Structure 1
Amino acid sequence: MARIAVLGAGPVGVGLVERLLANADLAPGRPIEIMLIDPHPAGPGRIWRDGQSPLMRMNSLAKDITLFPGEAVRCVGPPRPGPSLAEWAAATVAGRLPPVDPELADDVREISPVSFATRRVQGAYLSWFLREVIGQAPPGVRVTVRRGRAVALTGAPDGTERVHLADGSRIDADAVVLALGHLEARPQGEQSEAAGFAERHGLVYLPPGFIAEADLSVLPAGADVLVRGMGLAFFDLMALVTEGRGGRYVRERDGRLRYLPSGREPRLLAGSRRGLPYRCKPSHRLVHGPVRELRYFPPALEQSLAGDGMLDFRRDLWPLIRKDLSFAYHRELFAAAPRHTAMPWPDFARLHDAAAVGELDALAEKAVPNPAHRWNMDELRAPLRHVEPRNVDDFRARFGTLLEQELRRAHDPARSADSAVYGAQLLFFERLARLRPRLSPRDQVEELDGAWFTLFNLVASGPPAFRTEELLALCRAGVVQPLGSGMRVRLDESTGRYRAGSANLDEECPAAALIDARLPEPTLDGSADHLLRALHASGAASEEFLTDPATGYRTPTGRIAVDDRGRMVTADGAAHPARYALGWNTSLRGTRAFAIPGTDAATFRHGDLVARAVLTGLSERA
C-alpha cells in the first residue's frame, strides 16, 4: 500500500485530500492510504476549531466561501461541485444535511448569504466537507487521521519518508506534503528589540501572532495598550477585550450604536501606516451583477505575451489595471447613481476607451462633478494625508468623522461601484499571479507583492461594516484612542515606557504594553515551528530567493522554495522526489484557505497540481 502523509489538516490540507481523491486514478491498481497529521482537529485545524469565542468571525461573506472546486476551475483533475458556506448552512437548517453540534445550532441558523459567520461554524463546515469527500473515496483509497505534532522528517535507507511526532512515535510514508498554514515566528528585528525592552523594564509585549490564542489577561483593566496595526488582528483584539470582558453594545433611538463598558477593558491606543482600517468589505447589490470579465486587460495582455521578452509592471500592467478598475467603477456608478454623472454612459464609455491612463482623471472630473463620487486611488491609499498634526482629542473627533463617512458609504446603494471595483480586483488577483514568471524579481517584490497587493487589500480585505461601527462606538466611549497614520513606537529607556507618535499627532503617547496586531510574515529560519526550522537548518528545505543576475538584485522572501510541481527544493537546488509543500508560505503562492464560488481560484489549481504530482511520483517511484 502506498502511503501519503499530509502534515497539516486545516483547509489547505483537507483541500489537498479532496484533490488526491479526485485524481486517484493516476495511481491505478495500487491501494493508497492518505494520512492527515495535525495536533488540531482535522478539517478546522488550528484557526477554525470549535471551542473558540463566538466573537471571532469570518472576514468574508458566507456566499463567498467554498471548499469545492467547481466547473470554473481550470485544472487537469475533475471538478467536484458543492455548496458554499451559505448554501451548506441553509441545507443544514432545512434538514437536508446532517445537523451540527447543538452548541453551534444558533450560529448556523443566523447565517445568510451576506452574513459573516463565526469561525467555529466555519470549522463545522470544514469537518462536514472532509467527511463528505472521504465518503466518496474511490475503491482502494482510504483516509486516516492522526492527532499529533510532526517535529522531524527523515529519510530511511529504503527511500521511505519517516515522520517523527512529538510523542516519540513515527509514521512511515512514500510521500509527504507540508500543508502547514500560518505558523508562529520568533521575534526578529524591531520585534526582538521591543521584546527585550519589555523584559528589561517589566512591560508587556505581544509579537505578531494569533490574537485569539494570546494570553490577554496580561492587559489589566484601564491600562493603556499601544497597538500597531488596524487590520483583522486588531479587530479580534478589540472584540476580545471589550465584549469578551463583559461590555455590550446598545442601539440608541437615533440609530447610533453605543458601547456600555464593563469596567474591565484596557484602553487601546491604535495606529498603523494608513491610520484607518481598510475600507469596509463591499457588500452592495450590483445593478450590473458581478463583474465577469475585464475590458482592457485580456486583449492587451495577449499582445504583450506574444513575444518572449519580460514584462515591465509599471509600463505593461499597471496602466491596464488602472484603466480596468476605473471602467468597472464608472460602469456601475452610471447605472446605480446617474444623478451623480454629467454625461450619457455611451459617451463616457467611448471616451474612456480612447483615453490614455493619464487622461482618466480629467475625464472623471467632466463626467462626475462631485469629487466625493469619483474613484480616487490616493484617497484610498492615504485618507489622512491632509490631516495636520493635532492633539489626541481633536484627532479622535476627526477619526470618528471619517469612520461615519465610511459607514455611510458601505450602506449606500448608490455606492455599489465600490463593489464593482472589488469584483474586478478579484479577477486581477487570479490573473496577475500567472504573469509572475514574466516579471523581474524586483517587480515581483515591489510591484506585484507590494503596490498591487496593497491596493487589493485596501478594498478586498477590510472589516465587515459592523466591526467599523463597533470601533466608532468604542472611540466615542474612550475605550479606543486612534493614533493616526505613519505610527511609530519609540523605546524610551529613560522612562521605561513605550512611546508612540504618528504623522497626525503633535504629541507622543506612553504605555507599558505594546501589541503587534498582525500575523507573522513567512519565514524559515525564524519560524517557531520545530519541523520547518529543522528542515531548513539541515538543508532539506530552502528559502526562496528572488535573484536578477543582470542587476544584482537579490532578496529572500521567507517562503519555502518548491519547484513547479510543488516539490521541496533542497539547499543544493535539487527537487526532492517525495517531499512537497503547499500553501501561502511556499513559492507557489496564491493558495488561500477558501475560494469564491464560480471562480478559477489558485487555491484549487495549485492543490490539483500538487496532488497530481504526488500521485504521479508514486507511480514513477513504484
Structure 2
Amino acid sequence: MPATITAIVFIGGGPRTAGVLERIAANRPEVFAGPLQIHVVEPHVPGSGRIWRYDQDPGLLLNSMAADITMFTDKSVDCAGPAAPGPGLSGWAAGVLDATIIDVPDFPQQLWDQLRDLTGTTFPTRQLQSQYLEWFFRRAAKSLGRSVTVHRTTALGIDPLDGGGHEVELANGRTLHADIVVTALGHTDSRPDAVSAGFSDFATRHGGYHAAPNYTTDVDYSPIAAGQDVIVAGMGLAFVDLLVLLMEGRGGRFEETDDGGLRYLPSGREPRLWAGSRRGVPYHSKISASLRGQAPGPLRFFTVAAVQELLQQHGELDFRQHLWPLIAKEAGHYYYRELLTGSPERAAMEWEVFAARYAEVDWYSGERADLVAAAVPDPGLHLDLERLDRPFDGVRFAGHQELQDAVARYIYDDLALRDSTDHPETLALFLALLHVYMEVGRVVPAERLNAKSQQVIHGWWHGFFSFVDSGPPPRRLRQMLALHRAGLLQFLGPGLEVSTDDASGTFRATSPQSGVSVSATALIEARLPSTSVARSLNPVLSSLYDGGLGTEQQLLTSDGIHSTGKLLVSSGHHLVDAEGRARATLFGVGPGTSGWGAGAFARPNTNAAPFRENDALARTVLGVARDIAAQGPAAHAGTAQDKITPEPAAIGKG
C-alpha cells in the first residue's frame, strides 16, 4: 500500500459502522478528499452484524414500527456535515416492491410476503430489518468508491507500531496496518460475574440447567424438557424473545378469540415458565394512539439554557437533584398538554391557564399537585413517574393467586392505556422521554456530572427509559396473557430473589412482597450480559485492556471506586489508555463505551443522537487522516491529551 494512503480499520461492521461510513462519505469534500483505504472487520454480514443478522428465528420482531426506523441523517440532525436524506425501512420496502430500489439480493418468498404486508405501523421481523441494514451498508461503502474492503473474520488484537500506527491481527492469519482504528463492537459477551458463575457451577454439580445472561437467540435451550418448570429472572425484551423461542418456536400457535384476545394452542413440547424481576412486570407496550392535541414543540424545561444555569450555580451536577426534576417537568408538560388539548372532555381547565401556572411551579411541589388535581378531575389520569417506574412498590400480596391476578390485571391495564386510540397522552409521554433521552448527552457535559450521577445515567435512567419507551409490540403482551391463561407462564412478583439449595439440587425463587416460592432445576437469566472490558470475551477488547491501550471507566465516589465496565472514551470518542491519556488515532463508539450511547438507527426527523455522534466522529477521523497525510508518521504521536481531556470523574484501571 502506498505510504500516502491513510488506512482506517473499523473493528465491527454492524449498523453503527455503516452509519459512520456514510458520514465519512458525506463529509469528505469539506474535511479531507484525499485517498483512503478503509478496512471493515466483521465475521457476520456487514450492515446487520451479529445482533441484527438474518440467521435467527423468523418469529423475532423489532420493538419499533417500520415508520420509526431509518439509517439516514436527515435535515433534522444538528450536525456540521451535510444532510443525506434517504428511505427509512418503510420507504425502502416500497422502493423494493416498485423496483425503484434494485440493488438487493433475491429474497426468499417469506421476505417478499413481509414486504408486501408491511405498513408504517408494522413491527417488522429482524430478518427483514437485516436486509435494510445490509443494503444501507452496501450503499455507504459504494459511495466511498473502491476504498472499502470487508474482511469476514474476527479481529484478535491491536498492537502499536514503533513508527506510528497499529497492527490489527485477524483470525484468518492476516495482519492489517492501521493509521486509524475505530472499534464499533456493539454488544459483546463477557465472562459471567460471580453470581452467574456460581449458578452455572451449581447447575453442573447437580445436573441442572442454567443459562447465564446472553443474547436470547444464541442460547441453546434444547436441554429444557417439555413440561419442565423453569425459573426466569428478567421480564424485559430478552424475556419476550424467550417466550417466542420456547412457545411458538416449539410448535405452539396463537389464535384469535371472539372477544379480540388470543388463545394459545400448545404443542405439548413447551416448558412451564416462572418469571419475575425487580419490578415484577414486563416492559410497557408500544403505543397505538396518535396525538390529537397541540403538536409538541421544542423542549420547554430541559433545555441548554436551563442546564447552563445549573452549571453556573453548581460546581458539578447531580442527576437526581438537579436534572431529573427538569426531565420530570418536561414529561409532565408533554403529557398534560396532550391530555388537556387532545381530550378536553377529561379536563377542567383550559390548557393556556394550566400551562402558565405550570411553568411557575416545581415538579416536586404541592402547588404542582394541586394544579393537576384542579385541571384533571380523574386521579387515575395523573402522571406519577415513581409509580410508573415501580408499579408494585409497597404492595403486599396475600399469596400466589393474588399475585397472578395483580400482574395479569397490570398487563390488561397497560394494553388499555397504550394499545387503543383512547389515551394519546401516553404517546405524548413517550415522545417527551425520547426527546430528553436524545438530548441528555448533548446538553449535559459528562465531566460536570458527579460520579454517582454517571452511574445513575448508565443504570437507572437508561433502564427507566427502556422500560417505558422501548417495550415490545402490544401483541406480545397479549401473547403473555394467553400463555398465562394456558398455564405455561406464572408470575413470581417484584423484588425477585434467586438462591440455591444443595440439599435438593434446585434453584429457589422468591418474592418478599408475595411470599411466593418456587423450586426448579432450571434457571434462565433473561437479560443481556453486563458490559465488562475486564471480563470481555471479545479478543480485541481483551487485547486493548491487557495491553493498556484501553481501560474500563471507573468512577471515584464517596464510598470508593466503582467500575461501569464500559470502555473509557473521551468526549471525542478517543480511547483513553491505562495512564489516562486519550489516544490520538484509536476511537471507540457504541453501547460498550462510556459515551452516552443511543442506538444505531432511529426515528426519522428527531435530531437523533446516534446520527449526531456519527457525523462528529466521521469529521474527527477525517481530520486525523488529513493530518497523517500531510505530516506523515509524526501525526501518529501516540496521544491526544493536549486536545482532549478525559472526564475528571473517570479514571483508568491504575
TM-score, with structure 1 as normaliser: 0.95
CA contact under 8 A between 2:32 and 2:625: conserved in structure 1?
no
CA contact under 8 A between 2:348 and 2:375: conserved in structure 1?
yes
SS of 2:50 mapped into structure 1: coil
Q: Letter of the aligned partner of 1:418 in structure 2?
A: T
User: Which of 308, 316, 319 is the equivalent residue of 1:310?
Assistant: 316
Q: Could you say which residue in structure 2 is the equivalent of 1:421?
A: 429
Please state how far the C-alpha of 1:100 moved relative to its aligned partner: 5.1
User: Which of 366, 370, 373 is the equivalent residue of 2:374?
Assistant: 366
Q: For 1:506 and 1:117, locate their aligned partners in 2 and report how far apart those are by CA, in whole Å.
A: 40
Q: Could you say which residue in structure 1 is the equivalent of 2:641?
A: none
CA contact under 8 A between 1:150 and 1:166: conserved in structure 2?
yes
Q: For 2:540 and 2:462, locate their aligned partners in 1 and report how far apart those are by CA, in whole Å.
A: 30
For residues 69-108 of structure 1, what are the structure 2 equivalents within 5 Å?
69-98=73-102, 101-103=106-108, 104-108=111-115
Q: 1:351 to 1:130 in 2, by over 3 A?
A: same
Please state how far the C-alpha of 1:15 moved relative to its aligned partner: 1.2
For residues 469-508 of structure 1, what are the structure 2 equivalents within 5 Å?
469-508=478-517
Q: 1:33 to 1:562 in 2, by over 3 A?
A: same
CA contact under 8 A between 1:333 and 1:414: conserved in structure 2?
no
Q: Could you say which residue in structure 1 is the equivalent of 2:178?
A: 173
SS of 1:23 mapped into structure 2: helix
Q: 1:450 to 1:164 in 2, by over 3 A?
A: closer
Q: For 2:318 and 2:188, locate their aligned partners in 1 and report how far apart those are by CA, in whole Å.
A: 33
SS of 2:401 mapped into structure 1: helix
Q: 1:12 to 1:290 in 2, by over 3 A?
A: farther
Q: Could you say which residue in structure 1 is the equivalent of 2:140?
A: 133
Matched, 1:275 2:283: no
Q: For 1:29 and 1:66, locate their aligned partners in 2 and report how far apart those are by CA, in whole Å.
A: 27
CA contact under 8 A between 1:282 and 1:460: conserved in structure 2?
no
Please state how far the C-alpha of 1:289 moved relative to its aligned partner: 6.4
Q: Letter of the aligned partner of 1:275 in structure 2?
A: G
Q: For 2:498 and 2:186, locate their aligned partners in 1 and report how far apart those are by CA, in whole Å.
A: 30
Q: Letter of the aligned partner of 1:330 in structure 2?
A: Y
Q: Deviations over 1:11-54 (max 9, x none)?
A: 11111211222222466463212111111001111111123211
Q: Letter of the aligned partner of 2:357 in structure 1?
A: L
Q: Could you say which residue in structure 2 is the equivalent of 1:350?
A: 356
Matched, 1:433 2:470: no
Please state how far the C-alpha of 1:290 moved relative to its aligned partner: 5.5
Q: Could you say which residue in structure 2 is the equivalent of 1:566?
A: 573
Q: Could you say which residue in structure 2 is the equivalent of 1:443?
A: 453
CA contact under 8 A between 1:6 and 1:177: conserved in structure 2?
yes
Q: Could you say which residue in structure 2 is the equivalent of 1:57?
A: 61
Q: Letter of the aligned partner of 2:409 in structure 1?
A: T
User: Which of 299, 315, 320 is the equivalent residue of 1:294?
Assistant: 299
Q: Could you say which residue in structure 2 is the equivalent of 1:464?
A: 473
User: Which of 160, 181, 185 is the equivalent residue of 1:155?
Assistant: 160
Between 323-332 and 348-357, the greater mean CA deviation after superposition: 348-357
Q: Deviations over 1:493-543 (max 9, x none)?
A: 111100101134323101111111111121111111122112211212111
CA contact under 8 A between 1:290 and 1:420: conserved in structure 2?
no
Q: For 2:560 and 2:277, locate their aligned partners in 1 and report how far apart those are by CA, in whole Å.
A: 29
SS of 2:293 mapped into structure 1: coil
Q: For 2:112 and 2:347, locate their aligned partners in 1 and report how far apart those are by CA, in whole Å.
A: 47
Please state how far the C-alpha of 1:406 moved relative to its aligned partner: 1.4
Q: For 1:373 and 1:58, locate their aligned partners in 2 and report how far apart those are by CA, in whole Å.
A: 29
Matched, 1:321 2:327: yes
Between 293-302 and 257-266, the greater mean CA deviation after superposition: 293-302
Q: For 2:179 and 2:545, locate their aligned partners in 1 and report how far apart those are by CA, in whole Å.
A: 21
Please state how far the C-alpha of 1:580 moved relative to its aligned partner: 1.3
Please state how far the C-alpha of 1:306 moved relative to its aligned partner: 5.0
Q: For 2:527 and 2:459, locate their aligned partners in 1 and report how far apart those are by CA, in whole Å.
A: 17
Q: Deviations over 1:279-338 (max 9, x none)?
A: 112232011366332222335335334568323333432222222211111111113322
Between 582-591 and 284-293, the greater mean CA deviation after superposition: 284-293
CA contact under 8 A between 1:395 and 1:504: conserved in structure 2?
no
Q: For 1:213 and 1:312, locate their aligned partners in 2 and report how far apart those are by CA, in whole Å.
A: 39
Aligned length: 617
CA contact under 8 A between 2:276 and 2:494: conserved in structure 1?
yes
Across the aligned residues of Structure 1 and Structure 2, the Cα RMSD in angstroms comes to: 2.0
CA contact under 8 A between 2:294 and 2:338: conserved in structure 1?
no
Q: For 1:271 and 1:459, locate their aligned partners in 2 and report how far apart those are by CA, in whole Å.
A: 18
Q: For 2:139 and 2:400, locate their aligned partners in 1 and report how far apart those are by CA, in whole Å.
A: 54
Q: 1:372 to 1:173 in 2, by over 3 A?
A: same
CA contact under 8 A between 2:286 and 2:472: conserved in structure 1?
yes
Q: Could you say which residue in structure 1 is the equivalent of 2:648?
A: none
Q: For 2:105 and 2:264, locate their aligned partners in 1 and report how far apart those are by CA, in whole Å.
A: 33
Q: Letter of the aligned partner of 1:459 in structure 2?
A: V
Q: Deviations over 1:416-448 (max 9, x none)?
A: 1011011111121122223133221112213x3
Please state how far the C-alpha of 1:572 moved relative to its aligned partner: 1.6
For residues 532-551 of structure 1, what are the structure 2 equivalents within 5 Å?
532-547=541-556, 551=558
Please state how far the C-alpha of 1:274 moved relative to its aligned partner: 0.5
Q: Percent identity?
A: 38
For residues 334-345 of structure 1, what are the structure 2 equivalents within 5 Å?
334-345=340-351
Between 66-75 and 266-275, the greater mean CA deviation after superposition: 66-75
Give unmatched runs, 5+ long, in structure 1.
Answer: none
Matched, 1:252 2:278: no
CA contact under 8 A between 1:282 and 1:459: conserved in structure 2?
no
Q: Letter of the aligned partner of 1:438 in structure 2?
A: R
SS of 2:239 mapped into structure 1: helix
Matched, 1:527 2:532: no
Q: Deviations over 1:95-126 (max 9, x none)?
A: 22125533221222222112211111111001
Q: Letter of the aligned partner of 1:250 in structure 2?
A: E
CA contact under 8 A between 2:570 and 2:576: conserved in structure 1?
yes
SS of 1:102 mapped into structure 2: coil
Q: For 1:275 and 1:527, locate their aligned partners in 2 and report how far apart those are by CA, in whole Å.
A: 29
Q: Could you say which residue in structure 1 is the equivalent of 2:643?
A: none
Between 247-256 and 284-293, the greater mean CA deviation after superposition: 284-293
Q: Could you say which residue in structure 2 is the equivalent of 1:395?
A: 403
For residues 173-212 of structure 1, what are the structure 2 equivalents within 5 Å?
173-212=178-217
Q: 1:31 to 1:346 in 2, by over 3 A?
A: closer
CA contact under 8 A between 1:588 and 1:606: conserved in structure 2?
no
